[in-house]
Copies of this chain bind each other. A is one copy, B any other.
Amino acid sequence: MRRGDVLELAVLGLLHEGPMHGYELRKRLGGMLGAFRAFSYGSLYPCLKDLLARGWIVEDGPADAGTPALSGRRSKIVYRLTAEGKEGFQALLAEGGPTAWEDEGFGVRFAFFGRTPADVRLRILEGRRSRLEERRSHLRASLQRTRQRLDSYTLELQRHGLESVEREVRWLSELIATERTEGGQWVARDSSSTQGPAARPATRQPQHPQQPERPE
């Protein structure tokens, strides 16, 4: 059955912020990346079941300890991360496998960079960048080849795609540079020290001056 990497990672990451029940998790999931699709309950609940079975999370007594009026009966099931869960989360993050450079896999991992050791962060950013550089050269080659032979819309699509990829590569390069200079030795220890390097990577000019694009 093996639940999906992305969803599992996201759930574990969110539960670092404190115990939560399924419904709430799903909403937070939707908001996380903005563009991230919101994982239906049909995926979420089975995923929670798996994590429970593995002992990475446990059902909690009402974490609404403050709120009155729900004494004996509880309709919410609140999940809390266990020590094993935290370990598993770190292991998944560090895994770096091919899933970590793909769009979604990268997105979730980046979202939890605040809890990720510096070396792993760098590895993921660089892996993602080379993935995109591959895509870029593929697109460039395709544009060269087909220059004349293709109809205008296909061309426009490829041109726009190429621009997007180039933009993303520049973004990653900036982030990597920042990590290299600032983020050298910081490592997460526990959930209270949620503080990475400075907010924005270096200075960000409106126009990208020259940037020879890092040919490989």
| Chain A residues packing against B (C-beta within 8 Å) | 31-35, 107, 110-114, 133-135, 137-144, 151-158, 160-162, 164-165, 167, 171, 175, 194-201, 211, 213-216
Contacts and interface: CB of A to CB of B under 8 A. Distances in A.
Contacts of A138: 34
Contacts of A175: 156
A158 B201 contact: no
Contacts of A141: 214, 216
Contacts of A154: 32, 111, 114
B34 A142 contact: yes
Given A35-B165, A114-B154, A151-B194, 6 more contacts: A31-B142, A34-B161, A141-B214, A144-B211, A155-B199, A164-B164
A142 B113 CA distance: 19
Contacts of A164: 164, 167
Nearest to A139: B34
B161 A33 contact: yes
Interface of chain A: mostly helix, strand, loop or mixed? helix
Name the residue in A34, A114, A144, A164 with the highest tally of chain B Cβ atoms < 10 Å from its Cβ. A34
A214 B152 CA distance: 22
Nearest to A36: B161
Contacts of A171: 160
Nearest to A121: B153
27 contacts: A32-B154, A33-B157, A33-B161, A34-B135, A34-B158, A34-B161, A34-B162, A35-B135, A110-B153, A110-B157, A113-B151, A113-B153, A114-B151, A114-B152, A137-B215, A137-B216, A140-B211, A141-B214, A144-B211, A144-B214, A152-B195, A152-B200, A153-B196, A155-B199, A160-B171, A167-B167, A216-B216
Contacts of A133: 215
